[in-house]
Structure 1
Amino acid sequence: MTDKNIQLAIQVVPLEREGNIYEKIDAAIEVIQNSGVEYMITPMETVMQGPYDKLQAVAKEAQQALVDAGCKEFLVNIKMHIRTEADVTMEEKKLDR
């Protein structure tokens, strides 16, 4: 697709009512934290920055972490910001307040 850094935001939503769903979400976040990519955790999603193929692989591993944590049904929302001729950076999106 591109050899430039992109941003990928992922939100996982367990659809189960049994057990602690936050432990399952945390399992997915742990995969991202251990992946070596730059990331930012927000209340609604986790945003990662890096090469397209790497981020797709991390997103897949995060989903598998939900399954491994016993989650039987979940939603995954993914958003990507891709630029073909330049990197997408978190720094350019920060607001000075």
Structure 2
Amino acid sequence: MIVAFSLSPSGGDAVDADGGMSEAVAAAVEVVRGSGVPHQTTAMFTYLEGEWDEVMAVVKAATDAVAARAPRVGLVLKADIRPGHTGEMTGKVERVERHLD
């Protein structure tokens, strides 16, 4: 299973001095990096790959980390559920790249 998720903190102390929300988002990324689950963080989403329970536990822990810094958190989540497949976070991209070469 691959999950793409994005957390958006709002309100309270979630806003940085420069008007951004990077400190609260960094708390979520720290949770992801410490999880041991294969991951990739981009400018708009964080991708996780693993089994349902382990991936969703990381999403919840990351959401909780942001919620500790903001009174409101928006969560966008997209999942590709394909039992028995692993390495698809990079495999999908590699298959497309082969067509472009």
Q: Which TM-score band applies after superposition, normalised by the shorter structure? A: 0.7 to 0.9
**Structure 2, gaps ≥5 residues long:** none
Residue number in structure 1 paired with 2:46: 46
Task: Give the count of matched residue pairs.
Answer: 90
Residue number in structure 1 paired with 2:3: 8
Instruction: Confirm or deny: 8 A CA contact 2:4 2:77 kept in the other structure.
Output: yes
Secondary structure of 2:32's partner?
Answer: helix
Mapping for residues 42-81 of structure 1, pairs under 5 Å: 42-68=42-68, 70-81=69-80
Point out the structure with max Rg over C-alpha.
2
Instruction: Confirm or deny: 8 A CA contact 2:9 2:67 kept in the other structure.
Output: no
Instruction: Confirm or deny: 8 A CA contact 2:9 2:70 kept in the other structure.
Output: yes
% identical equivalent positions = 28
**Structure 1, gaps ≥5 residues long:** 1-5
TM-score, length basis structure 1: 0.83
Report the structure, 1 or 2, having the larger strand content.
1
Distance across 2 between alignment mates of 1:58 and 1:27: 12
Which runs of 4 or more aligned residues in structure 1 lie more than 6 Å from their structure 2 counterparts after TM superposition?
Answer: none
Letter in 2 for 1:82: I
User: Structure 1's 65 and 17: CA in aligned 2 closer, same or farther, altered over 3 A?
Assistant: closer
TM-score, length basis structure 2: 0.80
The alignment's C-alpha RMSD in Å is 1.6
Deviations 1:5-36 (A, max 9, x none): x1011100112375311100110111000000
